[in-house]
Amino acid sequence: MEAITIKDIAKALNLSTSTVSRALRGSYEINNETKKLVLEYAEKMNYHPNPIALSLKENRSKAIGVIVPEIANNFFSQAINGIEAVAYDRGYHVVIFQSHESYERERSNIQHLVGRKVDGVLISLSGQTTTVEHLQEIQKRGVPLVVFDRISNDIISNKVIADNFQGAYEATEHLILSGRKRIAHITSPSLLYTTNERLEGYKAALAKYNIPFDENLVRYCGFEPEDAKQVIFEVLETQKPDAIFTASDRLALDSFAAVKAKGIQIPEQVAFIGFTNLGVAHLLDPPLSTIVQPAFAIGKTAAEMLLDTIENKQSNAAVKTIKIPTEVNLRTSSE
């Protein structure tokens, strides 16, 4: 069951490989008879062009590379879902790598991908990434790049993110309108772009209702599970907030558990949350309001931008940053 090649067809039909090649791609300069002959034989023998040979010839692979911190994370797996959907429709393959929040691993992944001659790269930066030379490097090589969600101001490229400002604003406003004044904000590391956007949304809502911003109510938290517990207990103890606004499902659940464990009265809680836990937020008591990251749409949009760039190769196109609205599900506790 070895795969059949153009050469096999040529031999069988007593033609040259070039004639067969042209016939297969429907070139106008080929006799209709010959064309039909070739096409029928190819069909019969279940011929498929060898994509590796094509890649070598044309110096492209019809594959795109995706680098995410962790695949097993609702947000990223949803995003990959969106990416795969677009790629499949447009005849591209998706090659996946994880950086595991490591800068070194991310560099290595990039190397692999450019070595593999992917036609473009979609990346969400690792938590440790502070320099973007590796990204500039692939840009210099002419490989199109779209950065999504974990973006950086240092790299000039197309970007896609959730509208974190809007989500944070709406969520904070909801808490204020339900009577809360001391709203703790437990969030991701301060150097992430999204962290800042959320903080600004939070601040803007406070400002609108003339509540002074108190930085004692804000806590930045790394990705280690241990960090979270400490930070949460500490802010609950020392600041006595009357609501909590957390920046991830993990932080949301940890703070929820902390509230329960301490028997503290926190009737309102809001979380930036991933996809799967959506079904659970309203089952908790008090129920969690959620700000759902539009992960699928982000992946889809990023992939579309990338493939458009790859296929049009508009060198004049200006880079842009697209913000996708978050979906805010507000729930008030029935105190």
Partner DNA sequence: TTGTAAGCGTTATCAA
Partner DNA sequence: TTGATAACGCTTACAA
Q: How far is the CB of 85 from a second copy (least distance, A)?
A: 8
| Rounded Cα–Cα distance for residues 112 and 66 (Å) | 11
How many residues sit close enough to DNA to count as binding (CB under 7 A)?
32
| Rounded Cα–Cα distance for residues 220 and 206 (Å) | 19
Q: Is 108 exposed, middle or buried (0-12, 13-18, 19+ CB in 10 A)?
A: middle
Q: Indicate which single residue of 50, 111, 130, 190 sits in contact with DNA (rule: CB under 7 A).
A: 50
Choose from a second copy, DNA, none: what does 32 bind? Cβ within 5-8 Å by kind: DNA
| Rounded Cα–Cα distance for residues 6 and 21 (Å) | 7
Q: Verify binding: residue 17, DNA, rule CB under 7 A.
A: yes
Q: How far is the CB of 39 from DNA (least distance, A)?
A: 12
Q: How far is the CB of 42 from DNA (least distance, A)?
A: 10
How many residues sit close enough to a second copy to count as binding (CB under 8 A)?
59
Q: Verify binding: residue 48, a second copy, rule CB under 8 A.
A: yes
Choose from a second copy, DNA, none: what does 325 bind? Cβ within 5-8 Å by kind: none
Choose from a second copy, DNA, none: what does 184 bind? Cβ within 5-8 Å by kind: none
What does each C-alpha distance from 197 to 65, 110, 131, 152, 164 come to in angstroms?
Answer: 27, 27, 20, 13, 6
Query: Interface with a second copy by CB under 8 A: which range of 30-38, 91-99, 172-180, 318-326?
Result: 91-99
Is the CB of 27 or the CB of 216 nearer to DNA? 27
Choose from a second copy, DNA, none: what does 6 bind? Cβ within 5-8 Å by kind: DNA
Which residue type does 90 have? R
Q: Verify binding: residue 140, a second copy, rule CB under 8 A.
A: yes
Q: What is the DSSP letter of 215?
A: G
> Pseudo-torsion of CA 89, 94, 99, 104, nearest 10°?
-130
Q: Verify binding: residue 191, a second copy, rule CB under 8 A.
A: no
Q: Is 109 exposed, middle or buried (0-12, 13-18, 19+ CB in 10 A)?
A: buried
Q: Verify binding: residue 71, a second copy, rule CB under 8 A.
A: yes
| Rounded Cα–Cα distance for residues 152 and 149 (Å) | 9
3-state secondary structure 251-296: HHHHHHHHHHHHCCCCCEEEEEECCCCHHHHCCCCCCEEEEECCHH
Under 8 Å between Cβ of 110 and 67: yes
Choose from a second copy, DNA, none: what does 14 bind? Cβ within 5-8 Å by kind: DNA
Q: Indicate which single residue of 29, 224, 226, 335 sits in contact with DNA (rule: CB under 7 A).
A: 29
Residues that bind a second copy (CB under 8 A): 1-3, 48, 50-53, 55-56, 61, 63, 70-74, 76-78, 80-81, 84-85, 88, 93-98, 111-112, 114-117, 137, 140-142, 249-250, 253-254, 256-257, 260, 274-277, 279-280, 283-285, 295-296
